[in-house]
Structure 1
Amino acid sequence: MLKIQEIREIIKLIDSSSIDEFSLNEEGTKLKLKKNAGQVVVAEAPKAVAQAVAPVAAPAAAPAPKTEAAPAAPKAEAAPAPKAEVAADANLHKIVSPMVGTFYQSPSPDADVFVKVGDKVGEETVVCIVEAMKLFNEIEAEVTGEIVEILVKDGELVEYGQPLFLVKEA
Structure 2
Amino acid sequence: MLNIDEIRQLIKLIDESSINEFTYENEGSKVELKKNAGGSVQMVQQVPAAPVQAPAAQAAQQQQAPVQEAPAKEEKDNGNLHKITSPMVGTFYASSSPEADPYVTVGSKVTESSVVCIVEAMKLFNEIEAEVKGEIVEVLVENGQLVEYGQPLFLVKAE
The alignment's TM-score, normalised by the length of structure 2, stands at: 0.58
How many residue pairs get aligned? The number is 101
Larger helix fraction of residues: 1
Aligned residue number for residue 67 of structure 1: 5
Whether 1:164 aligns to 2:153 is yes
Q: How does 1:49-88 map to 2 (within 5 A)?
A: 65-69=3-7, 77-81=70-74, 84-85=75-76, 88=77
Aligned residue type for 1:165: F
Task: Provide structure 2 residue ranges, at least 5 long, that are not aligned to the other structure.
Answer: 10-56, 58-66
- Residues 152 and 164 of structure 1 are in contact (CA less than 8 Å); yes or no, is this contact kept in structure 2? yes
CA distance in 2, matches of 1:136, 1:76: 30
CA gap of 1:68–1:123, structure 2 versus 1, over 3 A, is: same
1:108 counterpart letter in structure 2: S
Q: In 1, Cα distance between the equivalents of 2:81 and 2:133?
A: 11
Distance 1:168 1:69, change over 3 A: farther
User: What amino acid is the match of 1:78?
Assistant: P
Give the CA deviation at 1:80.
2.4
Deviation at 1:78, TM superposition (A): 1.2
Change (3 A) 1:75 1:106: farther
2:106 alignment counterpart: 117
Preserved contact between residue 121 and residue 146 of structure 1 (Cα < 8 Å): yes
Moved >4 Å (runs of 4+)? 68-71, 73-76
Distance in structure 1 (CA, Å) of the matches to 2:150 and 2:78: 20
Name stretches of at least 5 consecutive residues in structure 1 with no aligned partner: 1-64
Letter in 2 for 1:97: S
8 A Cα contact 1:68 1:156, kept in partner: no
